[in-house]
Amino acid sequence: MRITEILESYVLAALAEAEQAGELPPAGAVEVVIERPKEADNGDFSTNAALRLARVMRMSPLDIANKIAETIGQKLELESVSAAAPGFVNFTLSPAWLQSQIPEVLRQPETYGNLMIGAGEKVQVEFVSVNPTGPLHVGHARGGVIGSTIANVIEAAGYDVTREYYVNDGGNQMRVFNETLYARYMQAAGHDVPLPEGAYEGEYLTEYAEGLLESEGDRFVAMDRDEATAGMAAIALQDTLKMIREDVALLGIEYDVWYSEKSMLENGKFEQTIALMEDLGQIVDRDGARWLKGQDGDDQDNVVIRSGGGGPTYFGTDIAYHHDKFKEREFSKVIDVWGADHHGHVDRLKAAMGGLDINPDRLTIILNQIVSFKEGDVAKRFSKRKGVMVTLRELVNEVGADACRYTFLSRSAEAQMEFDIELAASRSMDNPVYYVQYAHARISSMLRSAAEQGVDSSDADLSLLTHAAELALIHQIIDLPEVIALSAERTEATQLPYYAYELARAFSTFYEHCRVLSENEEDLPVSKARLQLIDATRIGLARTLKLMGMSAPEKM
């Protein structure tokens, strides 16, 4: 049980006991929130429960807080519990209890911090899901990092997580892409074929068409246009998906499911969803198209099937896709990580879910904002493709996957960010990525040195860890379960890089004040205790780096 849960249980028990004894009036339903106080003098944790109960109890909040503190009394985990104006209850953890947590960390090197909040509940996280029409760019990279890390975090919180890529291979965008590819191929073969309306621009597709002519020859030239387009489209889809798989792998991203939009159109799931909405009276025919009536949360009608045989809209297939997620595959919660350009799609998709008797609150949509670049103080156009876009591969090749992941996670998805390429690539303590990973490598080196010297810390007396820097380091280590719980609750991951940096900083302070290995025999007991402490620190760093999808180097 997390320390905040323990403290919450003490407060609730104290309220119930004081009420039963007639020392406090009935509180009714109580929500107890345990937080870190802003001032260090106010202990390690605090709750404002008394302030929130003052009106219900018709008492001074300070009197309520005093009664709670008095009733809690002495506890194993606590050195002290006290009331403070205007009505806070402050908790200071016992050094003995803090020391006792080190063996708990050492006992769980691969799973420390994991929780069972989710109790196996099925959750799907869908992220990146870009149309298979070309290489991934940095916006997709940011979404991939955010999505994969959120999946890691909620999995660590005890949820059964499926990581999914939705392949948009059946919509209008793919039709335009394929027609553009045909035109570019024919042009490369020396035929004057005009580009389709709304054609895909950019160097990539021209280069790909030339490569296709080289690898496949001119066999598509004599074919019927539709047959040739379909043949090239099948090859391009497989090639592009292979490239996308390789791109995301550069960032350490793997998917459990690659879900094809086209397959949903072919197996009838889209038509079934439209028929269901029609039965519910939600579909209207107008101007040759089929429209979904405005729903609660979005009062505007939206086209789901285009007029003139234009086929399903992206919105239409997305409704069917999410209906499949919730109703067919029975995910209790779905998390979508989309680009900022999907902002207008959020409310209407949630409204459509409500119309299908799916609680919209079960769908969480995270929009990741755009990324700009700088080197030092200079804005940079960072691209090898005529300044049109920055590809994921270019960025990873420039700064490395770990720097990409940490940097993208260091800002909330909703915030635009400026990516400092020079800082991310630097091997200095000013670079937070280097700072955190170096702390892990330094500890690993110290543990190797101890092993080489034959120092066995298994019988360490942890009660010797009384220095302020030692206790502060333990405090930081045991925050990991709280970070995982908070990140899972908020469906975000920015707490992780902050926690990792603070843990590395607490270790650095400890290292400055506390010598671990000493040549003096009389210092051996303290050295053993400190070796266990730094090993627990290493585990905390390694676990956090793994949750962020980063490496934990043992040498740097």
DSSP string, 140-163: HHHHHHHHHHHHHHHHHTT-EEEE
Q: Residue 276 above 90 pLDDT?
A: yes
Which residues have CB under 8 Å from 144's CB, separation 6+? 127, 128, 136, 248, 251, 253, 392
Helix 480-490, helix 3-20: angle, nearest 10: 80
DSSP strands (E only) in 412-479: 417-420
Q: Where residue 65 falls among pLDDT bands split at 50, 70, 90?
A: very high
Q: Residue 25 above 60 pLDDT?
A: yes
Helix 269-279, helix 314-323: angle, nearest 10: 90
Model pTM?
0.93
**pLDDT attached to residue 384:** 40
Task: Please state, in angstroms and rounded to a whole number, the distance separating the CA atoms of residues 150 and 309.
Answer: 40
Rounded to the nearest 10°, the torsion over CA 10, 11, 16, 21 is 90
And the tokens for 494?
A: 């920015």
How many residues are listed for the chain in this entry?
556
Rounded to the nearest 10°, the torsion over CA 9, 10, 14, 15 is -40
**pLDDT attached to residue 196:** 94
Q: Contact 124/334 with Cβ under 8 angstroms?
A: yes
DSSP strands (E only) in 206-362: 257-260, 283-286, 289-292, 302-305, 333-339
Is 98 in a helix, a strand, or coil?
helix
Q: Residue 383 above 50 pLDDT?
A: no
Task: Please state, in angstroms and rounded to a whole number, the distance separating the CA atoms of residues 248 and 142.
Answer: 11
Look at the block and give the residue holding tokens 């740097």: 556
Asked whether the CA dihedral 157, 44, 42, 4 is positive or negative, the reply is positive
φ and ψ at residue 133, rounded to 5 degrees: -125, 10
Average pLDDT over residues 480-486: 98
**pLDDT attached to residue 28:** 86
**pLDDT attached to residue 182:** 97
Asked whether the CA dihedral 476, 481, 485, 490 is positive or negative, the reply is positive
Average pLDDT over residues 411-424: 89
Q: Residue 387 above 80 pLDDT?
A: no
- The pLDDT tens digits of the residues spanning 214-230 come to 999 999 999 999 999 99
Q: Where residue 388 falls among pLDDT bands split at 50, 70, 90?
A: very low
Q: Contact 24/18 with Cβ under 8 angstroms?
A: yes
Q: Where residue 389 falls among pLDDT bands split at 50, 70, 90?
A: low
Which residues have CB under 8 Å from 372's CB, separation 6+? 379, 416, 417, 418, 419
- The per-residue b/e assignment along 160-192, b for 16 or more CB within 10 angstroms, e otherwise, is ebbbbbbbbbbbebbbbbbbbbbbbbbbbbeee
Q: Residue 208 above 70 pLDDT?
A: yes
Average pLDDT over residues 8-13: 97
And the tokens for 473?
A: 């380091």
**pLDDT attached to residue 270:** 96
Q: Contact 436/406 with Cβ under 8 angstroms?
A: yes
**pLDDT attached to residue 376:** 74
Helix 138-156, helix 401-409: angle, nearest 10: 80
Helices (H), 376-420: 392-399, 401-409
Task: Please state, in angstroms and rounded to a whole number, the distance separating the CA atoms of residues 255 and 144.
Answer: 11
Which bin fits 208, alpha (ψ -120 to 50), beta or left (φ > 0)?
Answer: alpha
Q: Contact 380/398 with Cβ under 8 angstroms?
A: no
Average pLDDT over residues 165-174: 91
Is 341 in a helix, a strand, or coil?
helix
Rounded to the nearest 10°, the torsion over CA 207, 208, 214, 215 is 160
Cα atoms in the Cβ-side hemisphere of radius 13 Å centred on 152:
23
CATH topology (fold) of 122-167+254-368: Rossmann fold (3.40.50)
Residue type, 490: R
Q: What percent of the chain has pLDDT over 90?
A: 83
Q: Residue 385 above 60 pLDDT?
A: no
Q: Where residue 331 falls among pLDDT bands split at 50, 70, 90?
A: very high
Of 101-105, 245-249, 394-398, 480-484, the poorest mean pLDDT is in 394-398
Asked whether the CA dihedral 264, 333, 486, 484 is positive or negative, the reply is negative
Question: What is the domain partition of the chain in residue ranges?
Answer: 3-93, 99-113+429-547, 122-167+254-368, 172-250, 372-425
**pLDDT attached to residue 544:** 98
**pLDDT attached to residue 381:** 57
Look at the block and give the residue holding tokens 């490369």: 188
CATH architecture of 99-113+429-547: Orthogonal Bundle (1.10)
| Mean confidence (pLDDT) of the chain | 94
Answer yes or no: CATH 3.30.450.20 is held by domain 3-93.
no
Please choose, from the candidates 45, 81, 42, 48, the residue with its C-alpha nearest in 3D space to the C-alpha of residue 62: 48
Task: Please state, in angstroms and rounded to a whole number, the distance separating the CA atoms of residues 363 and 454.
Answer: 55
Of 242-256, 432-446, 469-483, 511-525, the poorest mean pLDDT is in 511-525
Average pLDDT over residues 136-150: 94
